[in-house]
Amino acid sequence: MFTWIAGGLAAFFSIRYLSRLQQAGTNITSRIRVQIHKVTLTGIELKATVQLQNPNPVALRLQHPFVKILHKNTLLGSSAVENRVIEIPEHSQKTFELHIQSAGWLTLIQLLGTRVVSDIRSGKPLELDIQTQVITRVNGLPYQQTENIILQL
């Protein structure tokens, strides 16, 4: 009889803990800022600052974030993939700085147009509507957030 009660309690607390982890994965928030880091002969290098916030009373384990930069649903560049698992303690946040190598100049001319690319090369003030996607796994569950931002030069 005691083993049945202990088994039932263990199952109850296990299910409760797993449901908390799943709910915590949906409550995580991310903020991203993107700026042009440098203009090179091969293209532009962007710097993305990703801030992941854990407002939950449970620590989260997540895969190192992967960032994609899109313009009109076409890929402009992405960060490097890292096979690292990071832990964010309860009620805290972590900030990551990622370097994003864009596509080459020919691809950028096709996507953005010659006027925008020449403005980027010359350093003229410019505003460009882009989409950012932060992709990771939180406690083994996939997490993706897409955000529209304006890249200013």
Q: Of 29, 26, 47, 51, whose CA–CA distance to 38 is shortest?
A: 47
Tens digit of each residue's pLDDT (9 = 90 or more) over 33-81: 888 888 888 878 889 898 988 888 888 888 899 999 888 888 888 898 8
Tell me, what CATH number does 136's domain have? 2.60.40.10
Per DSSP, 40 falls in state -
Instruction: Report which residue type is found at 12.
Output: F
How confident is the model over 127-134, as a mean pLDDT?
A: 87
Q: Of 153, 150, 149, whose CA–CA distance to 134 is shortest?
A: 149
Query: Is the pTM higher than 0.85?
Result: no
Q: Quickly tell me which residue has 């440098």 as its tokens.
A: 38
pLDDT at residue 95, as a whole number: 92
Per DSSP, 80 falls in state P
The total of structural domains in the chain comes to: 1
Where in the sequence is the domain holding 147, given as residue range(s)?
Answer: 2-152
Instruction: Report which residue type is found at 33.
Output: R
Tens digit of each residue's pLDDT (9 = 90 or more) over 1-32: 667 776 665 665 566 555 554 554 457 788 88
pLDDT at residue 12, as a whole number: 58
Contact 130, 70 (CB under 8 A): yes
What CA–CA distance (Å, rounded) separates 149 from 153? Answer: 13
Which residues are bridge partners to 150 per DSSP? 129
Coil vs helix vs strand at 146: strand
